[in-house]
C-alpha cells in the first residue's frame, strides 16, 4: 500500500523541523564556570605550566626507558611537617573560576645527565650547567643558608642545635671545613646577617648573635623575640628583614588544618628590629617556610597547602603580598578550594588568590630570585624554588629545583631546572637556595646531607 503524497510531505516536514530544533538546542547550551569542563583560573597549575599535574611530578631520566612505578614506600618526615594518620579522602568544594588563562609555551630548558662522584644517582641540569658537592659530612640535616658580609656561607642544623660556617678560602668551589659558630640552640632554622650580627630563628625565639672570636664563634647572644609559638606540626621559623627595615618571622600552623588559639600561627608577622610591636603582616598561610622580596618590594612566599584531601589537591602556591592579605587557611585553600571540614567558618569570597599554583604535595620551601650575572641572561631575575618532595602522595612528587619565569614581577611559567633526587629510593630532598657573589647557586639537601654548588660555563 502506498503512502499518499500529502501525508509523506507532512511527515518529512515534521522530521526536518525536529532535527533542526535539536541541533539548535545543542549548540546553544552555555559553558559556565560550573560546567565540568570549565578551565580553572589564571594561576591554575595545569594551565600556567602548560603541563598536567602528572607531568609536573615526572623526573624520569631523559634517556632512560620508562619503568613501572614501584610500590611507594611511606616516608617518615622528621622535618617541618610531623605526619598525621591518613584518613579517608575528603571531597573539596571548588569555587567557580572567573578567568580563563592563555596557555603558556614550553620552556627552553632541556636537561642532561651529570654524574657526580659519591652520589647515588646522576642529576639532570640544563646544557652548560655543572653541579658539584660544595660541603658534605654534616652530622645531620642542613637546612636554611645565608652568606656573611665576608662571603662565607652559613647553614642551620636544627637537630644539632648549631649554625655552621663553610669557608672556601681558595675559591675551589668546595668548603674547606665545617666550622661551628653557634651551638646549644633550640631547633635553629632561619638565619640572616644584618647590621653586624647574625640573626637566628629558633622554634620559639629570635636571637641576635654578635662578637665572634678568632675561630668565628659568636660570644654574645641576645634574645630579640622570646615568645614565638614553638614546635607544633610546623616547627620551623624563618626570618628576614624587609625593605622597610622590619623583622619578619614566618610561623607555620600547629596542625594540618584546625582553628588556632594563637593568632600568629599560619602567618608572617612583622616586628620592629628590637622585637617590639608585633603586627600580623599576612595570614592564612598554612606553612610559608620560605619568603623573599621581589624588586618592587612585595613579599613573595612559598606555601605548603593542607594534606589528606587527595593526591592532586589543593595545589601548592606562590603568594605575593603587600600587607594585610589573608590567603584562606584553614577554611579555603589555594584561593578557590573550600575546606571540607572548616569551610563552614569562612569561604573563599574575600581570600587573596595565590600568584601561582604548583603540583600538590611538592612541598616548596626555599626560594630565590636569581640576582647574579653568571647564568644566561634569560634566567636572570627568574624565581628558583626548592621542592622538598611529598611524604604521603600515592606517586611521589617534588624532589627537584624548578624555575618560575617572571614577567612584570609575576610568575607565569614553571619548568624543571634540576632533577634526579627522586630516582631510585628518593635519596635527596632540596631545602633552600641562595646565590653567591660570583653568581653561583647553592642548594642545601637534608635528605643526603650535603650542599651543592651550581655554576654555568656555557
Please state the domain count of the chain.
1
Q: What is the DSSP string of 48-61?
A: HHSS-HHHHT----
Q: Are 450 and 145 in contact (CB under 8 A)?
A: no
Which residue segment(s) compose the domain that 402 sits in? 81-456
Q: Are 306 and 257 in contact (CB under 8 A)?
A: yes
**Sign, CA torsion 349/353/358/364:** negative
* Averaged pLDDT for residues 206-233: 96
Look at residue 72 and tell me if it is in a domain.
no
Q: What is the CATH number of the domain that holds 173?
A: 2.120.10.30
Q: pLDDT by residue (tens digit) across 353-362?
A: 999 999 999 9
Of the given ranges (4-18, 42-56, 339-353, 364-378), which has the lowest mean pLDDT? 42-56
Instruction: Give the whole-number percent of the chain exceeding pLDDT 70.
Output: 76
Q: Over 60: is that where the pLDDT of 224 sits? A: yes
Look at residue 75 and tell me if it is in a domain.
no
Rounded to whole angstroms, how far apart are CA atoms 147 and 134?
14
Please state the pTM of the whole predicted model: 0.79
Rounded to whole angstroms, how far apart are CA atoms 138 and 116?
18
CA distance from start to end of the chain? 88
Look at residue 288 and tell me if it is in a domain.
yes
Rounded to whole angstroms, how far apart are CA atoms 86 and 83?
9
Look at residue 17 and tell me if it is in a domain.
no
Q: Which residues of 213-252 are buried (b: 16+ CB within 10 A; e: fewer)?
A: eeebbbeeeeebbeebbeebbbbbbbbbbbeeebbbbbbb
Look at residue 1 and tell me if it is in a domain.
no
Look at residue 438 and tell me if it is in a domain.
yes
Look at residue 32 and tell me if it is in a domain.
no
Look at residue 148 and tell me if it is in a domain.
yes
Amino acid at each position: 500500500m502506498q503512502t499518499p503524497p500529502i501525508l509523506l510531505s507532512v511527515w518529512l516536514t515534521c522530521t526536518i523541523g525536529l532535527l533542526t530544533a535539536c541541533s539548535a538546542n545543542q549548540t546553544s547550551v552555555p559553558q559556565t564556570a560550573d560546567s565540568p569542563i570549565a578551565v580553572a583560573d589564571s594561576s591554575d597549575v595545569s594551565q600556567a605550566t602548560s603541563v598536567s599535574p602528572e607531568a609536573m611530578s615526572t623526573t624520569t631520566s631523559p634517556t632512560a626507558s620508562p619503568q613501572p612505578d614501584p610500590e611507594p614506600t611511606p616516608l617518615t618526615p622528621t622535618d617541618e611537617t610531623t605526619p598525621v594518620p591518613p584518613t579517608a579522602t575528603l571531597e573539596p568544594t571548588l569555587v567557580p573560576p572567573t578567568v580563563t588563562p592563555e596557555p603558556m609555551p614550553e620552556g627552553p630548558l632541556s636537561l642532561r645527565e651529570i654524574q657526580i662522584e659519591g652520589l647515588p644517582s646522576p642529576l639532570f641540569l640544563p646544557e652548560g650547567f655543572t653541579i658539584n658537592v660544595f660541603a658534605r659530612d654534616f652530622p645531620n640535616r642542613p637546612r636554611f643558608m645565608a652568606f656573611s658580609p665576608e662571603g662565607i656561607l652559613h647553614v642551620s642544623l636544627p637537630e644539632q642545635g648549631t649554625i655552621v660556617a663553610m669557608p672556601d678560602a681558595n675559591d675551589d668551589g668546595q668548603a674547606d671545613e665545617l666550622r661551628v659558630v653557634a651551638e646549644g640552640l633550640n631547633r635553629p632554622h632561619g638565619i640572616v646577617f644584618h647590621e653586624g650580627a647574625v640573626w637566628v630563628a629558633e622554634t620559639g625565639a629570635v636571637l641576635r648573635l654578635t662578637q665572634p672570636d678568632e675561630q668565628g664563634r659568636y660570644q654574645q647572644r641576645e634574645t630579640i623575640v622570646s615568645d614565638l609559638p614553638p614546635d607544633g606540626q610546623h616547627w620551623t621559623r624563618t626570618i628576614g628583614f624587609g625593605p622597610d627595615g622590619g623583622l619578619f618571622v614566618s610561623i607555620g600552623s600547629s596542625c594540618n588544618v584546625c582553628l588556632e588559639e594563637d593568632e600568629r600561627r599560619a602567618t608572617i608577622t612583622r616586628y620592629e628590629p628590637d622585637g617590639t610591636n608585633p603586627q600580623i603582616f599576612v595570614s592564612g598561610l598554612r606553612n610559608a617556610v620560605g619568603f623573599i622580596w621581589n624588586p618592587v618590594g612585595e613579599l613573595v612566599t612559598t606555601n605548603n597547602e593542607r594534606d589528606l584531601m587527595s593526591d592532586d589537591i589543593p595545589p601548592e602556591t606562590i603568594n605575593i603580598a603587600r600587607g594585610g592579605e589573608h590567603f584562606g587557611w584553614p577554611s579555603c585553600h589555594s584561593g578557590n578550594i573550600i575546606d571540607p571540614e572548616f569551610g563552614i567558618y569562612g569561604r573563599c569570597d574575600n581570600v587573596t588568590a595565590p600568584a601561582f599554583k604548583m603540583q600538590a604535595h611538592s612541598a616548596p620551601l626555599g626560594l630565590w630570585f636569581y640576582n647574579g650575572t653568571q647564568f644566561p641572561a634569560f634566567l636572570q631575575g627568574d624565581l628558583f624554588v626548592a621542592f622538598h618532595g611529598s611524604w604521603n602522595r600515592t606517586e611521589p612528587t617534588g624532589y627537584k629545583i624548578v624555575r618560575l619565569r617572571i614577567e612584570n614581577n609575576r610568575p607565569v611559567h614553571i619548568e624543571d631546572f634540576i632533577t634526579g633526587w627522586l630516582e631510585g629510593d628518593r635519596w635527596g630532598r632540596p631545602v633552600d637556595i641562595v646565590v653567591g657573589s660570583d653568581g653561583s647557586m647553592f642548594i642545601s639537601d637534608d635528605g643526603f646531607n650535603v650542599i651543592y654548588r651550581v655554576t654555568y660555563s656555557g
